[in-house]
């Protein structure tokens, strides 16, 4: 079920009340109930793929014991089994058809006509996330960072906790498992913070992202009929749509976690205020980029084995990251573009230039240099998003070509797109940017000092969410 659906709005309070009133007495009760609720949550979408989730969970649970073996060879065997198992699931459900089609095309280059057998299986929701949960658990045991979890319920809850089950954040065993293995007590301040996050996340998703989505869909589905300026607004619209959609989802997930006594990983830290691409990737989908850093980039040698290998590793990471998002060339090209943006920073040793601190850290406004840096980074990221959003490379090229070659005319065309196509949602970008700017140092959502203004803000946001509720737009990252 989607977070922005009536079924979730009914599910959440029921689970919350049962959890804190009936199942609070012991840790085992808490975890068993939450696991049952999480499986119900996932099974609501498909009980068949629920079996896949349970099977994947069980296998990694068992592999964990094998990897913890004192025998290094045996441990390595189980590690490879886990990788094979998880990547195998992804290969079958997510990537098989892509490779089959590419193989058929490759044969075609040699004059061999082949009709590949396609599976046409629907992609199980959350598969890219829970497989990574499982792999990170096994990797951490192999590295000696933790011991295997004995209680299956605890482990299964770590993998399947419903707020992060379908679109992250991708949790780490050392971060979430200790919380799972400790009885949670209700804390008023934590629950209030959770509600604030949920409200802010709903605003970003329901009001901003879904509204922009209608506008962006219209532009992309008929890009040949729009002027360059409209297409530019379409690209900018998507930049904010995906940010509102994904960070909104993450906020709702983290906020929901807080309602049940959990502190989940933060997934976004104001990425559009980044001063370069390296900083962007430390602020966007943090759980995924850090996962690739820790489990792929560093094992490959990172940047510690010479510049050539560092460049190689950077390209591997970004291409794999692009491919993780979808079995399609446009996602791979998107990753490649980001790799190209990161490369100069790496070669000039500037990829850690903005490692700590935030833009305009001790000032209210950015300097001109910082403004220029943020604008350039935003433009680069928005350009790359065109490949991400377009269904094919051809559409992406044509979209960009039209921006470049179309003569400047009818600058107000995009405003005249039908009102119900979400043009009004552009207005909400302003409060979003202002709020993010104000929060960039503190990161406590909606923590307005004045009680009067705080209540007014909650009132306005909640009313806007209610008035925009019901638009049929899924979460973008559900498709990954």
Partner 1 sequence: MAKFILKISAWILVILLTGTTIAWLAIKKIPEQVLLDPDAYFMLKHQYKMAGSQGPYRNIIIGDSRGNAAIAPKLLGEKWLNLSISGGDFYEGYLTVKHFLEKNTIDTLVMLYGISYIETGSAWFDRYTVPMQFASNEEMNDFEKVENSRKMEYHGSNRIGAVPRFIKQAQRRLLYHHIPLLYMNAASEGIFSYFKNKEEVKAKKEKMESRLTETRGHICFGDATSCAAVSITDPDRKFNQNLFQIIYLDSIMQTGRRNHTVIYFGVAPLNQGTYVGYGNSLYDRTSRDYLKKLPITYPGLHVLVDSAGLPNNLFGDPWHLNESGTLVYTQLLTERLKH
User: Which ranges in 260-326 belong to alpha helices (H)?
Assistant: 277-283, 286-292, 307-325
Residues 9-28 that bind partner 1 (CB under 8 A): 17, 20
Closer CB to partner 1, residue 463 or residue 479?
463
Question: Quick check: 466 binds partner 1 (CB under 8 A)?
Answer: yes
Question: Quick check: 474 binds partner 1 (CB under 8 A)?
Answer: no
Minimum distance of partner 1 from residue 227's CB (angstroms)? 20
- For Cα atoms 349, 350, 355, give the angle at the middle one, nearest 5 degrees: 120
Question: Quick check: 458 binds partner 1 (CB under 8 A)?
Answer: yes
Q: Rounded to an integer, what distance in angstroms lies between the CA atom of residue 205 and that of residue 199?
A: 10
Closer CB to partner 1, residue 44 or residue 469?
469
Closer CB to partner 1, residue 155 or residue 233?
233
Contact call for residues 277 and 338 (beta carbons, < 8 A): yes
The phi, psi pair for 172, rounded to 5°, reads -105, 145
Question: Quick check: 188 binds partner 1 (CB under 8 A)?
Answer: yes
Q: Which of 133, 285, 325, 338 is catalytic?
A: 325
User: Which ranges in 181-227 belong to alpha helices (H)?
Assistant: 188-202, 210-221
Question: Quick check: 462 binds partner 1 (CB under 8 A)?
Answer: yes
Stretch that binds partner 1, among 25-33, 35-43, 381-389, 454-462 (CB under 8 A): 454-462
Who's near 318: CB < 8 A, 6+ residues apart?
Answer: 335, 336, 338, 339, 342
Stretch that binds partner 1, among 173-181, 328-336, 401-409, 469-477 (CB under 8 A): 469-477
Question: Quick check: 195 binds partner 1 (CB under 8 A)?
Answer: yes
Minimum distance of partner 1 from residue 21's CB (angstroms)? 8
Q: What does 320-355 look like in DSSP terms, one character per residue?
A: HHHHHH-SSHHHHHHHHHHHHHHHHHHHTT-TTTTS
Question: Quick check: 419 binds partner 1 (CB under 8 A)?
Answer: yes
Closer CB to partner 1, residue 102 or residue 424?
424
Cα separations in angstroms, 208 against 203, 216, 305, 426, 471: 7, 12, 44, 8, 11
Residues 168-187 that bind partner 1 (CB under 8 A): 186
Minimum distance of partner 1 from residue 193's CB (angstroms)? 12
Question: Quick check: 358 binds partner 1 (CB under 8 A)?
Answer: no
Minimum distance of partner 1 from residue 48's CB (angstroms)? 22
Minimum distance of partner 1 from residue 24's CB (angstroms)? 9
Tell the residue number behind the tokens 């709702």, with chain if given. Answer: 252
Question: What DSSP character marks residue 297?
Answer: I
| Token pair for 349 | 């040793």
Closer CB to partner 1, residue 107 or residue 467?
467
Stretch that binds partner 1, among 219-227, 287-295, 340-348, 467-475 (CB under 8 A): 467-475
Among 192, 353, 447, 456, binds partner 1 (CB under 8 A): 192
Q: Rounded to an integer, what distance in angstroms lies between the CA atom of residue 34 and that of residue 28?
A: 10
Among 62, 300, 400, 464, binds partner 1 (CB under 8 A): 464
Stretch that binds partner 1, among 113-121, 298-306, 365-373, 459-467 (CB under 8 A): 459-467
Question: What DSSP character marks residue 268?
Answer: -
**Whether residue 468 lies in the annotated active site:** no
Question: Quick check: 5 binds partner 1 (CB under 8 A)?
Answer: no
Tell the residue number behind the tokens 């009885």, with chain if given. Answer: 183
Question: Quick check: 446 binds partner 1 (CB under 8 A)?
Answer: no
Question: What DSSP character marks residue 94?
Answer: I
Pick from 188, 184, 255: which is nearest to 30 by CA?
Answer: 184
Pick from 106, 432, 71: which is nearest to 251 by CA?
Answer: 432
Question: Quick check: 412 binds partner 1 (CB under 8 A)?
Answer: no
> Residues of 225-256 as b/e, b for ≥16 C-beta within 10 angstroms?
ebbbbbbebbbbbbbbbbbbbbbbbbbbbbbb
Question: Quick check: 420 binds partner 1 (CB under 8 A)?
Answer: yes
Stretch that binds partner 1, among 50-58, 148-156, 188-196, 266-274 (CB under 8 A): 188-196
Who's near 468: CB < 8 A, 6+ residues apart?
Answer: 206, 207, 210, 211
Question: Quick check: 469 binds partner 1 (CB under 8 A)?
Answer: yes
Closer CB to partner 1, residue 44 or residue 315?
44
- Residues forming contacts to partner 1 in the complex (CB under 8 A) are 17, 20, 186, 188, 191-192, 195, 418-420, 424, 458-459, 462-464, 466-471
Residues annotated catalytic, as ranges: 325
């Amino acid at each position: 079920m989607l977070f922005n659906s009536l079924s979730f709005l009914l599910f959440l309070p029921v689970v919350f009340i049962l959890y804190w009133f009936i199942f609070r007495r012991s840790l085992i009760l808490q975890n068993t109930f939450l696991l049952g609720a999480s499986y119900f949550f996932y099974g609501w979408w498909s009980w068949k793929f629920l079996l896949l989730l349970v099977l994947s969970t069980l296998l990694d649970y068992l592999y964990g014991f094998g990897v913890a073996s004192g025998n290094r060879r045996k441990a390595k065997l189980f590690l490879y089994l886990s990788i094979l198992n998880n990547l195998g699931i992804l290969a079958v459900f997510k990537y098989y058809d892509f490779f089959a089609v590419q193989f058929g095309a490759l044969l075609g280059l040699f004059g061999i006509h082949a009709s590949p057998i396609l599976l046409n299986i629907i992609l199980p929701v959350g598969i890219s996330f829970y497989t990574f949960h499982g792999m990170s658990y096994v990797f951490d045991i192999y590295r000696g960072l933790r011991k295997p979890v004995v209680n299956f319920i605890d482990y299964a809850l770590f993998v399947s906790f419903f707020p992060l089950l379908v679109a992250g954040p991708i949790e780490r065993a050392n971060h979430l498992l200790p919380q799972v293995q400790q009885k949670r007590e209700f804390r008023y301040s934590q629950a209030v913070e959770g509600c604030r996050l949920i409200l802010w996340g709903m605003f970003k998703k329901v009001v901003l992202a879904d509204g922009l989505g209608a506008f962006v869909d219209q532009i992309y589905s008929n890009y040949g009929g729009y002027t360059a300026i409209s297409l530019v607004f379409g690209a900018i619209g998507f930049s904010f749509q995906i940010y509102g959609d994904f960070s909104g989802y993450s906020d709702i997930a983290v906020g929901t976690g807080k309602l049940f006594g959990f502190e989940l990983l933060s997934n976004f830290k104001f990425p559009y205020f980044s001063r370069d691409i390296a900083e962007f990737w430390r602020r966007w989908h943090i759980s995924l980029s850090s996962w690739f850093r820790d489990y792929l980039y560093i094992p490959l040698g990172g940047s510690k084995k010479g510049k050539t290998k560092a460049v190689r590793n950077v390209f591997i990471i970004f291409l794999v990251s692009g491919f993780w998002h979808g079995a399609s060339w446009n996602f791979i090209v998107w990753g490649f573009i980001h790799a190209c943006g990161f490369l100069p920073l790496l070669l000039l040793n500037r990829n850690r230039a903005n490692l700590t601190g935030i833009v305009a850290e001790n000032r209210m406004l950015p300097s001109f240099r910082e403004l220029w840096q943020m604008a350039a980074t935003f433009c680069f990221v928005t350009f790359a998003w065109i490949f991400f959003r377009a269904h094919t490379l051809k559409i992406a090229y044509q979209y960009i070509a039209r921006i470049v070659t179309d003569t400047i005319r009818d600058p107000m065309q995009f405003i005249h797109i039908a009102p119900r196509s979400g043009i009004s949602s552009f207005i909400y970008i302003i409060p979003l940017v202002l709020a993010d700017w104000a929060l960039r140092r503190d990161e406590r959502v909606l923590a307005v000092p004045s009680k009067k203004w705080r209540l007014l803000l909650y009132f306005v946001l909640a009313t806007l969410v209610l008035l925009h509720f019901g638009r049929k737009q899924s979460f973008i990252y559900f498709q990954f």
